[in-house]
Structures are given as C-alpha cells and as structure tokens.
Amino acid sequence: MSLKIKVGPPVLTINQAHSMLVTCFDGQIPWPSKLGFFVWDTRVISAWSIYADGESWCLLNSGAVTQFAAQVFLTNPEILTEDGTIEARTLLLQLGRSIAEGGIHEDIDITNHGGKPARFNLEIAIRCDFADILEVKSERMVRRGRITTTWSPNRPQLKTRYRNRDFRREVAVEPKRNASPGVYANGRISFAVTIEPGGSWHTCLEYTVTADGQQHAAPKDCIDHAPRSVLAGPLEDWRKAVMKLETTSQDFGQLYRQAVEDTASLRLPVEGTGHLEFMPAAGIPWFLALFGRDSLIAALQNAHVYPDFARGALDVLARFQATETDDYRDAEPGKILHEMRYGELAHFKLIPHAPYYGTADATPLYLILLHTAWRCTGDRELIESHLGAAERCLDWIDRYGDRDGDGFQEYQTRSPVGYENQGWKDSGDAISYPDGTLVKGPKALCELQGYVYDAWTRTAEIYDVLGDRKSADRLRAKARDLFARFNEAFWDEDSGFYALCLDGDKKKVLTVASNPGHCLWSRIVPQERARRVVSRLLEPDMWTGWCIRTLSARHPRYNPLSYQNGSVWPHDNGFIAIGFRQYGFLEEAARVARAVFDAGSYFALYQMPELYAGLQREDSNFPVQYPDANVPQAWAAGSIFSLLQALVGFEPDAPNGKLYVNATLPDWLPDLRLTDLRLGKQCFDLRLWRQENEMRLEVLKGDAAAIELTRPRQSTGAEQP
C-alpha cells in the first residue's frame, strides 16, 4: 500500500508501577466504560469529565509524553454566558497528567485567545466505584461495600472512601496552586474562572490514594517538570543500561526502540532493591500484576537486551513458590505461581489469585530462565542462590507435573474456579479436537514436554558447574528418555506433524496449531523431522502473510478474530522463529521476522499489541488489532527481541568470557549497530553487515577476542540437536 495506515487502541494510557490511568483521547473517563484510574487492581476513579458552564470541551490532540505522563489539548465550543457569547475555539485548555505509585498530578491551564474577557464556571465531575479490575474487565461488577464522600472547604479537599469490612480504599482530590478557589456542589468541583484577552488561568489537582493503610501521594511537580521528575531517573537509567540498536531499516529501528520503551513501562519495582531490580508485569490495561509465565518469558526475551532483567523474576517468583497443596488455588509444593492480585476479589478469596498457581509451564520456564541468566551474566552466585528454588521446581515436575506417572507433563485444574487450560493458550476453548469439540483432561500439551526436556538439559549443565555430576547425569538420562518417548507418542507420520496434545485417555489430538513450533524452540524435535514441522507451519492455512496463526484456518473453531483460535501472537512467532533458526532454517526464520516487523510498522507508535487478527494479508489491507489486546504488553514487546535473536543468533557463554554470534542478516536488514551489549561484566559495541553475501563483524568497543562470528548451521543432517 502506498499510504501507511496506523492502527491502535482508541485510548490514552499512562502507568507507573502498580498504577495506571486509561482514558479516552480527550482525557475523560465516560460512564459506564472499562476505563479509569486503577491502583493495585482497584479502579479508584471510574468517571471523569470537565465542563465550561455545562458545555463539554472539544478535543484537539493528545498523547503520552512519557510512560507516566500525558498531555491533552482541548478547545471550547460556543458558550453562552451571562456576559455574552464566548466564541468557539477561542479558549485553549491544556490538561496535563503525571502519575506515581497511586497518585495523579493534574494540571489544568486555560488560555484566552479571544478579543474579550471570558468568564465561566469550570466544572470537574469525578466518580469513584472502587471496582475490582477483573470485574471491570468482565463488565460484571458487584457493589459489596459502602462509599462515602466528604468535602472539606477549609483545606479544600474532596475525599471518597470505600469500605467492605477490612478492605478499605480512599482517594483524596485536592486543588492546589489555583487562580481561583474551588468549591464542591452537585457532585462537581467548580472554579469561577475569569481570563482577560491573552491571559491564562491555572490550577493543579492532586489525587492521593490510600490502600491498605498506606498513602500513595501524587507527584508534586507540574507536567512541565515530568520529564525531569524523580520518576524519570529510573527510566533514564534503564535506557542507558539496555542494548541500543541502529540500522538503516527505519521500521525495525522504530520497532526496537518502542519495544525498549514498552518493556520499561511494564517494570514493577522489587522491594528492597531501590530502582535497580524489576519484575516484568504482563501488560496494560488488564495484566499490570505479578505473573509467572508472562514474567519469565519476558525476561527470557530480554536476555540479550538487558541480562539482569531476569534477576527480579527469579527472586520474586522464588519468594512466592508454593509450599503446600491448596486445591482452590491449584497450588502444590515447588510450583511457580501464575498470577497474583491485590483487589477486593482476591482479598476475600472470591477468586483464587492470592496467588493462583494454575499454570503448567511456569515451573520448567523458571529453570530455563535461571540457566539463560547464568549464561548471559556468568554469575555463579545467581545459580547458587536460586538452587533451592530450582530443585523444588525439579521435584514438582516429577511429583505433580506428571500427574499419572507416565513420564509426560499433564495439567487439570482441581479448583472449582480454576483455569481449564494452563499452557500459554489458556482460554477455555483453546484446546480442541479436530472436529471442534473441547479436549477432556488431563491434557499433555506438546510444548510442555519440550519445556521440561529443555529445563532438564539446561539444569544438568548447572549441576556440572556446581560439581554435582550425579545429578547432571540423572537429568540428562531423563531428558534422553523424554526425547525418545515424546517423539514416539506425539508424532503423526501421516501428517508430518506433532499432536497438539494427548487427551485424558492418552490419545493424540491431531489438531493443527502453532504449539509444535515451540517444540523446535526447545530442541525436542529430531533434525530429520524438523523440515516437515517447519513446512507445515508455513502452509497457507497457518500462514497469514502477517505471520503464523495460532490455529489452522481449516479447523472448525477457526476464527481470525478470536483470542487464541486463529489470531496471530507476536511472541508465539518469536519463539517459532528461534526454533526455525536452531534447526538451520534461516530463510524461514527471516520470513517470520519480516512478517511480524511488517505488521508492527502499521501499529500506532510502532507499539506491538498482544495479538492481532489472523486475517489473510492482501495488497489492499493491513493488520487488524484484536479489540481487547493489551498495549503495551511484555510478550509482544519482547517478540522484537526474540526475532532479533532469530536473525543474529547470539550464543552467550559469559562463564567462559565468550560471545558467539551466528548472524544471517537478510537483504531487508543489511546492517546493525549494537551498543552496550553486555556479557557478564564486559560491555561491547558491535557492527554487523552484509558484504557480498557474507557476514562481517566489527568490534567497536570491548575485547574483540571475546567475540566470535561463526557460521550458522544449515538445515541438513539428521542428528539430534
């Protein structure tokens, strides 16, 4: 298409730590809607509107200026007042907001560009419902407690409190630095505004939230100081620390830079570490919370961009590793959590998310991340300090992950409100037979077997380093056995593809989906079968042109607009592309990368969404974003880093001070300059480029002897990877 369309969510979002503000582009929060100001999983502000003598303002433009600050520009319609008419578009209202951990600083600046004085009442209507975020998401809200509102005219301050037994939340709104005093009546804070021609009027509103007895203050500085505020310091530190990228491919350069910004916006600070250690949140607006699978995958994707990102995930998830059996929460000793919530539903155990352990893959992924972080940092203390958690993961895999002792990993919820599906495709209808009926559990997903194979292989290497040869040999023997049994039980020779899963009767479910692509990432596929798996994933029923679908278009449940039955997930394709590369399918890996990058270039701000529709690519169309997709989302941002890895082929060996680079840059990405690439305590600047169909590498900073450009493996041979 000659005209580049930009698509994206129709909302304006800013966030900081466990707080987020989601509004319409005009800065307002209509009622009813799913928008609002959310703090620790509670919507403390559910409606917000601004008026001039009862008239709504008109949007000019708006946007986020940082992850935690936004600006909205509004103008007036024609307003009839007792002094006469204020002509349309003579007043400019600039609404600036910045948020901290639980507070908002709001600036309202109005300039009169008309030829006569403007006198009117500025009114701000605020409503608070204190709804749990999961009820907002489902649009099924139940009022359980009592809300009270008080106005203190002397200060002045508006306080709205919510109380349900021992669950309490409060938001206080306080006008400050105002040119005229605020009053409260009829559910609105009002100001009598008079502005001379060419003059301006200003007020600040500070929103302070109290949760669980802890007060979360608003930023004190006005919006003009937001880029230099105390919140900007950690963000700038992050930008300095991560690997930077430059390339002549402008779209990819923009996608990479936005992925770095999105990852930064989803960092949750880890207690006791200042701002030096972070836990990746899953996404906004619905998953700004502690997750297991999501945080582990995001940390894996960031392994070469910021290796130390893994530390927060490893520390926090070990802290909440299950220690007892609890059927309501699907918890068993050694299991890594799925999701933790802090709202009213979790507080009263109306949902099991306090925390909930309904994930079958987070536990092996924890072991994979621990090994990856060690290979990237060379920090032996990292594996020693997490060895206890790792061994509890290994024990869970044997005792609970394998529910029936047949050597495969299965899942089935024991909770009356638990998740039916506990792989990354966790929607209730994601796992079905070829005829479309839902699979009965326990379910042994193909990728779960791959994750465990990979986890055992990697942990064996950790035991080697720690001098425990017996444990290393035991895990390698188990991995070899799983490799053989998996390839016997899951492979279907007629279709040349792996079963999606084994059902509760141990029968193959031969539904064609993207899941076996993760088996390539885990290296549990023999080399001689890899070509057939790659080819099947790229057939027209799976390949959209915008990348690989989650489910074949020939399947009865296929719906390109569904959540996981035919949509495209960028992180899914990132792992598949790395799998393609690991088996030597370099052109195919580049094809996947190009398709995701092409799709990403159409999204507003180059911000990759959680998923998009699995519609077929045509010359006359563009990618269609899933309506409830999280943006930003950690997996989606990290997919850019995974696809870079699929092209560059980093193989870090920080314990031995070496970094192997197996780059195969395609024609559409002929050069890369990587700055602040970290390997252990070393830091490098590299230049990679194609020259006469050969790769070239130049070390611009750092010890050149530590970097080695090697030739990528080709897709030949039949050896076990």
pLDDT digits (tens, 9 = 90+) for 52-96: 999 999 999 999 988 899 999 999 999 999 889 999 999 999 999
Confidence of residue 227 (pLDDT cuts 50, 70, 90): low
CB 575 within 8 A of CB 548: no
Confidence of residue 232 (pLDDT cuts 50, 70, 90): low
Range from 13-17, 94-98, 533-537 carrying the lowest mean pLDDT: 13-17
Beta bridge partners of 189: 124, 184
Compute the mean pLDDT over every residue in the chain, rounded to the nearest whole number: 93
Confidence of residue 190 (pLDDT cuts 50, 70, 90): very high
Tokens of residue 65, six digits = 């200026």
DSSP 635-647: HHHHHHHHHHHHH
Kind plus residue range of the DSSP H or E element containing 356: none
For residue 585, give the nearest of 713, 694, 689 by alpha carbon. 713
Residue 66 confidence (pLDDT) = 86
Residue 380 confidence (pLDDT) = 96
Alpha-carbon span 634 to 103, nearest angstrom: 24
Strand 84-86 and strand 339-340: the pairing is: unpaired
Strand 658-661 and strand 707-709: the pairing is: parallel
Summarize pLDDT for 123-135 with one digit per residue, the tens.
999 999 999 999 9
Residue 178 confidence (pLDDT) = 83
Alpha-carbon span 371 to 219, nearest angstrom: 40
Alpha-carbon span 580 to 424, nearest angstrom: 20
Confidence of residue 691 (pLDDT cuts 50, 70, 90): confident
Residues in the chain: 721
Give me the mean pLDDT over the 586-611 stretch: 95
Residue 716 confidence (pLDDT) = 39
Alpha-carbon span 597 to 591, nearest angstrom: 10
What superfamily does domain 12-230 belong to in CATH?
Answer: Glycoside hydrolase, family 65, N-terminal domain (2.70.98.40)
Task: Please identify which residue in the block is written with the tokens 């300095």.
Answer: 240
More confident call, 461 vs 720 = 461
Q: Nearest 5°: phi and psi at 584?
A: 90, 10
Residue 3 confidence (pLDDT) = 58
CB 38 within 8 A of CB 86: no
Residue 230 confidence (pLDDT) = 60
Percent of the chain with pLDDT over 70: 95
Q: How far from the centroid of its chain's Cα atoms is residue 139's Cα? A: 22
Give all strands (DSSP E) within 354-418, no chain letters: none
DSSP state of 548: B
Summarize pLDDT for 93-127 with one digit per residue, the tens.
999 999 988 899 999 999 999 999 999 999 999 99
Q: Which residues contact 437 (CB under 8 A, 6 or more apart)?
A: none
Tokens of residue 18, six digits = 């466990």
More confident call, 715 vs 543 = 543
Q: How many CB atoms lie within 10 A of CB 177?
A: 11
Percent of the chain with pLDDT over 90: 82
Beta bridge partners of 633: 283
Alpha helices in 548-656 (DSSP H): 570-582, 586-600, 634-648
Confidence of residue 451 (pLDDT cuts 50, 70, 90): very high
Confidence of residue 231 (pLDDT cuts 50, 70, 90): low
Summarize pLDDT for 454-488 with one digit per residue, the tens.
999 999 999 999 999 999 999 999 999 999 999 99
For residue 114, give the nearest of 87, 154, 84 by alpha carbon. 87
CB 515 within 8 A of CB 441: no
Range from 34-38, 175-179, 532-536 carrying the lowest mean pLDDT: 175-179
Give me the mean pLDDT over the 568-584 stretch: 97
Is 233 a residue whose pLDDT tops 80?
A: no
Q: Give domain limits for the chain.
A: 12-230
Residue 719 confidence (pLDDT) = 40
Give me the mean pLDDT over the 346-350 stretch: 95
Summarize pLDDT for 355-381 with one digit per residue, the tens.
999 999 999 999 999 999 999 999 999
Q: How many CB atoms lie within 10 A of CB 291?
A: 27
Tokens of residue 563, six digits = 């959540």
Confidence of residue 715 (pLDDT cuts 50, 70, 90): very low
Residue 467 confidence (pLDDT) = 96
| Orientation angle between helical segments 250-265 and 586-600, nearest 10 degrees | 70
Confidence of residue 426 (pLDDT cuts 50, 70, 90): very high
Is 214 a residue whose pLDDT tops 90?
A: no
Helix/strand/coil for 581: helix
Q: How many CB atoms lie within 10 A of CB 107?
A: 20
| Orientation angle between helical segments 362-377 and 293-301, nearest 10 degrees | 30
CB 461 within 8 A of CB 530: no
Range from 238-242, 388-392, 630-634 carrying the lowest mean pLDDT: 238-242
Alpha-carbon span 283 to 306, nearest angstrom: 19
Residue 5 confidence (pLDDT) = 67
Summarize pLDDT for 515-529 with one digit per residue, the tens.
999 999 999 999 999
